[in-house]
Amino acid sequence: MKFCGCGSPIEKGRQLLNLKLCKSCAFSLPDELPVKGRMVYSHKTGGEIEIMSTESFEANRKYFVPNGPRSSVKNFMRG
């Protein structure tokens, strides 16, 4: 049986996941901001995931929102 730094035994499920803290210690830690990502299409057949910090994602969010119809057919039919 493995023990946490606080002296409590680490739960069996957490041991199977190779976690080093007991449940109470893990939930008492300060929350970390999650990592964010977006899909980037440099070519029409292959997309890539751009991974970034939450701060970077929020600072650049206005550039990630499309500014109009998503289909070129809709653009053609309106003009």
Domain containing residue 56: 32-65
Assess whether pLDDT exceeds 90 at residue 69: no
Structure confidence by residue, pLDDT tens digits, 26-45: 888 777 778 898 888 887 77
Question: Is residue 70 assigned to a domain?
Answer: no
Distance, C-alpha 55 to centroid of its chain: 12
Question: Is residue 38 assigned to a domain?
Answer: yes
What pLDDT sits at residue 16? 92
Q: What is the total count of domains within the chain? A: 2
Assess whether pLDDT exceeds 70 at residue 68: no
Question: Is residue 74 assigned to a domain?
Answer: no
DSSP helix/strand/coil, 78? helix
pLDDT interval class at 73 (50, 70, 90): low
Distance, C-alpha 72 to centroid of its chain: 30
What pLDDT sits at residue 31? 73
Regarding whether 43 and 25 lie in a shared domain, the answer is: no
Residue 60 — φ and ψ, nearest 5°?
-110, 10
Alpha-carbon Rg for the chain, nearest whole angstrom, is: 22
